[in-house]
Structure 1
């Protein structure tokens, strides 16, 4: 199966991209990094720059039909920037509407809020997003992973094992 990872060009929490990426590839899935611009994405370890990763495709050039699942890594700046990109928001909205798995960790549910897809859904996230999710009509829970239909959400890097297990289960 082919899985898209959607990020902005910087502010991506490294481990929230690289660990699920590796888990999916090790399970035999193809992964592609989609971003708002071509080039590379700057990864961070919290607020410190780490490595970069090459962008495979730009969001304006892809379609939900090209992928079987979508992963939204966190980091504070990454989803905040994605929220301001109409193409990225529409891609997320279309992906959720497709019924295909959409997985978001840490601050990434901000993009789900912006895409107006959390009403009536139950999610988890970094705790500071609780009010945003509730104001958007969702229910926020404090647990390592929450699966609500095709939405898979987790709170932080400590939850990566449960997050990755849920994503892999959704693809089987």
Structure 2
């Protein structure tokens, strides 16, 4: 359990630093911006208490908000991601499919399941992020395009990171 805790802390720190110092400056004509720091929330243990998940999501978002000079937009988007994560895991997994320390990654679940998981959660995160950032229905098509392209860009990065760090199932 201590190993899992340390692993998640290191993953959190590395992803936050990578987001702030590397991915903040990467974008495609303000149309697609990657936010792979959400992988830290996606790979938390499947049976993490909901209150703790929401606290970690809020702290993750507020940390990014301090570096991006946004006023709680990332925190709200991370809370939305945490809610979507709870719903998705409850709908797709049964209690006997995973134990308390299993993380919903490619090593524990299938590639297809993880791809759908990453795509749906990044869509919820990016939708909340961009809609709160724009806070208007003007240029709705541009906002929707930004959500979709950023979601695809982020999902590709998350899947690549997960494939690089892939570990086989322990059975």
TM-score by length of 1: 0.29
Task: Flag the structure with larger Rg.
Answer: 2
Relative to its length, the structure with more strand (as a share) is 1
TM-score by length of 2: 0.29
Larger relative contact order (C-alpha < 8 A, sep ≥ 6)?
2
Relative to its length, the structure with more helix (as a share) is 2
